Amino acid sequence: MLQEVFAGPVQMPRLRSPSLSALRDRRDGILQNLQRKKRDKKCEKMNTGEFVYIDYVGRVKDTGEIFDITKEDVAKKENPHRENFKYGPVAVIIDSELILPGLNEEIKKMKVGEKKTFELKPDKAFGDRNPELTKLIPESTFKQQDIDATPGSYVTINRMRGKIVSADGGRVRVDFNHPLAGKILLYEVEVTGEIKENDEKIKAVICYFTGLDKEDVDLKINADEAEIMFKKKINFPTEGKEMAAKNILKWVAGIEKVKFSEVFEK
């Protein structure tokens, strides 16, 4: 049967080379697709739960005073530089409670590598000033707790931090409003990178709550459990651990259990 089938001459299909114009059309089509994908990528917004690094300068608009900064070169130039402070990009989580609402909204519109300057009104930042948060407290309360009621200093009373405005006639006026309440803020922000791996995300959360460098955090991930250890001794209270664990469990996919371990060596 095979011999009968292939007994006759075999007709090979003719291959026709594409014309020069067809090649150009094909090339133009590829370029257009690449440009469209690149343009679409630029228009993409960040999604809830994404971890990104930002470098920024935060100022009070009216005075130009810097109240928060990660850029060391700007800090040195404008004199709010602190010798023992670690500068550099910090990690934030999109749509988390760890970032100001207005700052979150603006960063969410950005992409990695983009720089942007924008204003935040009080309702998107630290809120409006509330007159009811200015309290008159008997001076004896401060004496009982051995607190120096000096105007201009900050105190913590009933877990609320406030600034002493005045002390007169046996009474101390304390303002418990946030120092930036009622102020318009000006931010200069650059999104410098994104975090994809779970171990880096977990370290980013821990560093946020402890102020440590990620090199000072040891981490073991076993299935759905993350075990965290510190290479240096720090004061990390139970409340802080609970908050860190809560954010890891919420924002890091696949992690169902967080454990903090302490190691004591001779």
Side-chain half-sphere exposure of 4, counting CA atoms within 13 A: 1
Tens of pLDDT, residue by residue, the chain (266 residues): 434 433 444 444 444 555 666 556 666 666 666 665 554 444 467 899 999 999 999 999 999 999 999 999 999 998 777 887 888 999 999 999 999 999 999 999 999 999 999 999 999 999 999 999 999 999 998 888 888 889 999 998 888 899 999 999 899 999 999 999 999 999 999 999 999 999 999 999 999 999 899 899 999 999 999 999 998 888 999 999 999 999 999 999 999 999 998 877 77
CATH T-level fold of 131-175? Thrombin, subunit H (2.40.10)
Architecture of domain 46-126+182-196: Roll (3.10)
Nearest to 54 by CA among 126, 106, 129: 106
CA dist., res. 167 & res. 6, Å (int): 110
β-pair type (185-195, 171-175): unpaired
168 Cβ partners below 8 Å, 6+ apart?
none
Residue ranges per domain, the chain?
46-126+182-196, 131-175, 197-266
Instruction: Give the CATH number of domain 197-266.
Output: 3.30.70.2210
Contact between 122 and 184 under an 8 Å Cβ cutoff? The reply is: yes
Helix (H) or strand (E) holding 242: helix 238-251
Are the beta carbons of 116 and 102 closer than 8 angstroms? no
Length of the chain: 266
pTM for the whole thing? 0.76
Cα distance between residue 178 and residue 130, in whole Å? 10
CB crowding 184-219: b at 16 or more within 10 Å, else e: ebbbbbbbbeebeebeebbbbbbbbbbebeeebbee
